[in-house]
Structure 1
Amino acid sequence: MPSMWLTDSQKIGVAFCSGGGFFLIGGVILFFDRAMLAMGNILFLIGLTLIIGLSKTVAFFARRQKLKGTAAFVAGILLILMRWPLIGFVVELYGIFVLFGDFFATIAGFIYNVPYVGPPIAQAIEKISGRRNAELPV
């Protein structure tokens, strides 16, 4: 099977991000288990850094438009580590929506092509995001 245009470190970054997502989902399923949520956050941040690089990651989180989302995301991680996992996860989720909200239109376009369930899910994502043709953050 032909490989995509990703480098080896980017492929490892995708694995880290996927693992982080699974740990976050597992932490929520296990009634906001603090250790799993923390591990998911760490793996996600490492994966994101490996995928787009350290300088672009710092530039993404430090953008003026994204400072509110960055502050909420970091505050959520700190609340999780300080044994307030439910409140921390909600604050972190708000930060994720602010930081990555521009990607929802792209995700909706991809999901639209899935047979039967794609169009309704894509419409729901477009309604949630409320942004169209926004500038991509990276």
Structure 2
Amino acid sequence: MWAARPERQIGVGLTAFGIFFMLLGILLFFDGGFLAIGNILFLSGLALILGPVKTVVFFTRPEKARGTVLFFLGVVLVFVRWPFVGICVELIGIVDLFGDFLPVVVGFLRKVPIVGAVLNLPGISHALDRIVGKKLPV
């Protein structure tokens, strides 16, 4: 049986906590402390999941330079106490960096019992198909 390496398991936990703290910071009217903690946890978790070399390669790909710059600019803006602007810039960078995974995520979410039923409603399904396309990259 395949077992994940411990650093990857810790990385998944850190990434999940990072996303949780970012969502909590947004829900608490863009609380800069929660957003900063979420950014640190998300980045450290991503580095543990991918490994240091692959993380640097991921963020330095020339075709994703705009997303990398916007993401890290958003992180800096959150750290210098501009949380609303920082999160907006950061989200644009995240979409640019991780946008290739969006069809896979939507395809997975459509198979989840309750979420899938909502995403397969006629209006929502049509809108999602227009945003992500009908074909998966695989």
Say yes or no: TM over 0.5. Answer: yes
Map of 2:99 onto structure 1: 101
Same amino acid, percent of matched pairs: 44
1:13 partner letter: G
Map of 1:129 onto structure 2: 132
Q: CA deviation at 1:129?
A: 3.4
More divergent stretch after superposition (17-26 vs 120-129): 120-129
Contact 1:34 1:80 in 2 (8 A): yes
Report Cα offsets for 1:14-50 as digits up to 9, x if no partner. 0000100110011001100001101100000000010
Structure 2 gap segments, 5+ residues each: none
Write out aligned runs for 1:58-77 (5 A): 58-77=56-75
Question: How many angstroms apart in 2 are the aligned matches of 1:127 and 1:9?
Answer: 38
Map of 1:55 onto structure 2: 53
Map of 2:112 onto structure 1: 114
Contact 1:78 1:88 in 2 (8 A): yes
Map of 1:78 onto structure 2: 76
4+ long deviations beyond 6 Å: none
Equivalent residues, number: 133
Q: What TM-score does the superposition give when structure 1 sets the normalisation length? A: 0.86
Structure 1 gap segments, 5+ residues each: none
SS for the counterpart of 1:113 is coil
CA distance change for structure 1 residues 121 and 27 in 2, over 3 Å: closer, same or farther?
A: same
Question: How many angstroms apart in 2 are the aligned matches of 1:47 and 1:56?
Answer: 13
2:89 partner letter: V
Contact 2:71 2:92 in 1 (8 A): yes
Contact 1:19 1:44 in 2 (8 A): yes
SS for the counterpart of 1:32 is coil
Higher helix content, 1 or 2: 2
Q: What TM-score does the superposition give when structure 2 sets the normalisation length? A: 0.86
